[in-house]
Chains A and B, each alone.
Chain A
Amino acid sequence: MYRDIAISKISYHLPRTVETNKVIKKQNPEWDVDKIELKTGIKQRYISGIDETAVDLATSACFKLLNEHEVDVSAVDAIILVTQSPDYTLPTSACIIQNRLNLPKSVLAFDINLGCSGFVNALSVAASLITAGTVSNCLVVCAETYTKYIDEADRANRMLFSDAAAACLVEKAPGSEFCIGPFVFGSDGSGANELIVKGSGARKLVENEKNYLFMNGANVLLFALRVVPLLVKETLKKTGVNIHDIDVFVFHQASELVIKTLIDRLSIPESKTLFDLEDIGNTVSCTLPIALSNALDQNKIKRGNKVMLIGFGVGYSWGSSIITWGDA
């Protein structure tokens, strides 16, 4: 458990292009767009431009954070980028961002290759580094352009995934009453083939195979039903708090169907659950920080609230934590 370490600032950036369900319906009159919208809860998504990458989006989100919150660039000690759509296999995208932001050369910069659980993982790494005294603050940045991996004809994935970047400043905040953790994590690589972009790394494709995103939606759903309720219970047990003591549940915004099914299993009221899908879509690792940012703006999270973060997905990988929100 990390006391007096705060998520003190959050900003996010979305690409300019918006793809609404109306547009998709017009392009694909044979698709049952209304039915899909009803299940996913998503009405529109953001699509990165041809020359616009996760690094571009991440840089914009960081600039926004630095400017909006008047953060001194020279005071940043570390940057962790969570992405599965890096500009290159190498070099590390976080290093490119260090240069673009003109962060000090003493900065610790690295990428974490995780999807929907990535924010929780990166948050734990940042809090550990700060507690160990390695750094005094860390930019945790999530950025994804999954839409570049999606076949235009892939009805299910096209209507879910959206591009975005979100940046958070995690830092020491004595007296803030912030408390992050404990964390619970899990991984199960037996699910690797259920959500995958084949041909996107060093393992070569068979001839003529396209490197599009593949998702076995039914198996990913079964994974979520199998793992997430236990993850939530384990995190509560480790923290020593009752489920009724949690003020706000922030699930990875996979789809409304998934979130509603999970809260039904856990008997969590909708009123305590954030739904942040309708206008943004599933932005992979960005969903948690974007939902947090919007909830803070809407005063849905207040000082003293216990906020549970629950990330789960590609890998399979999952992670959860409880944050007592302070005033940093």
Chain B
Amino acid sequence: MLVRQDLIEIIEDALEIERGTIDDNSNVEWHEKWDSLGHLSILIKLDKRLDGRCSPISELSRAYSVEKLMEILEENSLLEQ
């Protein structure tokens, strides 16, 4: 199970951007590195961190914001509020 800060750090690592760059309002339009390839990197890191529990969740493929990612992960009991 992740907490919010874990998710933020996973996104920052995946996009190879500095800590503190991402916040709850970040989305695909907000950072040039969060493009389609960047999104693949986020999904790969998330799935690894969650021991393969992300790969069955197809909605994640279009979760192009921190808010949406949090919402889906919470719905699937993979993120603590």
Contact = CB atoms under 8 A, between A and B. Distances in A.
A216 B57 CA distance: 14
A221 interface: yes
A219 B52 contact: no
A217 B54 contact: no
A221 B48 contact: no
A159 to B, nearest CB: 11
Give 10 nearest A-B pairs by CB, closest first: A218-B61, A226-B55, A225-B55, A219-B61, A222-B55, A261-B44, A39-B37, A225-B47, A219-B58, A221-B40
B44 A226 contact: no
A222 B72 CA distance: 15
Contacts, number: 48
A35 B37 contact: yes
A23 interface: no
Nearest to A35: B37
Interface string B22-62: 00000000000001110110011001100010111110111
Interface in A189-225: 216-219, 221-223, 225
A265 B52 contact: yes
Contacts of B44: 221, 225, 257, 261
B15 to A, nearest CB: 12
Nearest to A257: B40
5 contacts: A39-B40, A218-B40, A221-B43, A222-B47, A265-B52
Q: How large is the interface on A (under 10, 10 to 19, 20 to 34, 35 or more residues)?
A: 10 to 19
B58 A156 contact: no
Contacts of B55: 222-223, 225-226
A36 interface: yes
Contacts of A32: 35
Nearest to B32: A32
A218 B58 CA distance: 8
A229 interface: yes
A279 interface: no
B3 to A, nearest CB: 23
Given A216-B61, A218-B43, A222-B54, 19 more contacts: A36-B37, A156-B36, A218-B36, A218-B60, A218-B61, A219-B61, A221-B40, A222-B43, A222-B47, A222-B56, A222-B58, A225-B43, A225-B44, A225-B52, A226-B56, A229-B52, A257-B40, A264-B48, A265-B52
A42 B54 CA distance: 27
Nearest to A226: B55
Nearest to B63: A218
A219 B61 CA distance: 5
B55 to A, nearest CB: 4
B67 to A, nearest CB: 17
